[in-house]
Amino acid sequence: MSLWEKVTAELLDIIEWTDDSSDTLVWRFPRFDNEIKYGAQLIVRQAQSAVFVDRGKIADVFSDGQHSLTTRNLPLLTTLLGWKYGFHSPFKAEVYFVNTRNFTNLKWGTKNPVMMRDQEFGAVRLRSFGTYVVRVCDPASFIRAIVGTGGHFTLDDISEQLRNLIVSRFADALGESGIALLDLAANYDELSELLTQKIAPEFLEYGLEVSKLLIENISLPLEVEQALDKRSSMGIIGNLDNFVKFQAANAMESAAKNPGGDASAGVGMGMGFAMANQLGKLMGTSPDSAPETPPALPGETYYVGKNGTKTGPFDQQTIIASIQAGSVTGETLLWKQGMAGWEKGAAFAEFKMFLAVTPPPLPE
């Protein structure tokens, strides 16, 4: 220190701190050899405290206001210095100004996922983040526990430790709450209050007060969120059979509006119908869905011409029964859809095996 600075320090009788920073918690007043003139004026502004330290021991603490430094208002320091009587020469002491305002919008968050057991989803991994507000409520305890002998202490010097403390207690609070995973978003306020109650005593050990703590978000891993999205989509769709029918109706309407479209669209729609049908069979969720085994297709019908009279139509089983009864033979005329004219029964491949075992008519 130069001679001029020494002389200036000797003449200076006002001790104050004008804080022009946004993150300073503690600032030590610079004084040559830590000497303070008897009767010096101490100015402590709002949201500040001044702490006097003598040889490493916390002495007197001053709140906001203007104070004249005498043995009358420095009782603890006077005792430490052994002043039994009035003493008017300069005395040595360190003066620490402590910022006691609220530090807002401080961030906290989980670096690694927190494991939690949920009754519905089992073991899940959660991440969370939020903000908190902190202030120095006990300047002497804060200097004793955190600052030590540092002349300039900022919020960054302690923020990491505070974040770790919050995250650690967050895991406990989340597990003890017993709140279901899908109900967490509706209980952020309750969780925030529970977490604040857990960390408040530990912050007080440092001379700090947590005036507000907020949980802004609790999130799941991406793959779990995607699974939940699919589950939600299924819940919104509701009856899958009705949904498939609705989609098919839309597809057919689009095809009708575009008759000259790509032929692959029809193929794709057909594949969609097939897939929907198979999906409906596997899931079995539609009570009015079609049976798995379709009914028998209707057979061909036949007309019988006998003695100049046409009778029918008859199905194939009826014709076979008539062959077995002998009323229809290989010479009987038959006709079915698609034939140009009448043909003898022996010409029908579907009846040959039955006509072969039919005995000829008895001789008269």
Q: Which of 90, 199, 83, 109 is nearest to 163 (CA)?
A: 109
Q: How far apart are CA 215 and CA 15, in angstroms?
A: 41
In this structure, are residues 73 and 158 in contact, taking their beta carbons and an 8 Å threshold? no
Task: Write b or e for each residue in 152-161: b if 16 or more Cβ atoms lie within 10 A of its Cβ, otherwise e.
Answer: ebbbeebbee
Is the model more confident about 97 or about 60? 97
Mean pLDDT of 345-360: 78
Q: Which band of pLDDT confidence, cut at 50, 70 and 90, is reported for residue 21?
A: confident
For the chain, the maximum distance between any two Cα atoms, rounded to a whole number of angstroms, is 164
Top-ranked range on mean pLDDT: pick from 69-78, 138-147, 281-290: 138-147
| Cα three-residue angle 211-213-215, rounded to 5 degrees | 170
pLDDT at residue 151 in the model: 80
Is the model more confident about 274 or about 345? 345
List, by residue range, all CATH 3.30.1490 domains of the chain. Answer: 301-356
pLDDT at residue 213 in the model: 94
CATH tag for 103-223 (out of 3.30.70.1350, 3.30.479.30, 3.40.718.10, 3.40.120.10): 3.30.479.30
Fold of the 301-356 domain: Dna Ligase; domain 1 (3.30.1490)
Could you tell me which residues are beta bridge partners of residue 25? none
Q: Given a cut of 50, is residue 4 above it in pLDDT?
A: no
List, by residue range, all CATH 3.30.479.30 domains of the chain. Answer: 103-223
Mean pLDDT of 121-140: 91
Mean pLDDT of 3-31: 74
pLDDT at residue 7 in the model: 46
Top-ranked range on mean pLDDT: pick from 102-111, 267-276, 282-291, 319-328: 102-111
What rounded mean pLDDT belongs to the chain?
78
pTM more than 0.85: no
Q: Which band of pLDDT confidence, cut at 50, 70 and 90, is reported for residue 331?
A: confident
Q: Give the side-chain half-sphere CA count within 13 A for 317.
A: 2
Task: Give residue-wise pLDDT tens across range 266-303.
Answer: 445 555 555 555 555 555 544 454 455 555 456 788 99
pLDDT at residue 267 in the model: 47
pLDDT at residue 111 in the model: 87
Q: Given a cut of 50, is residue 98 above it in pLDDT?
A: yes
In this structure, are residues 143 and 53 in contact, taking their beta carbons and an 8 Å threshold? yes
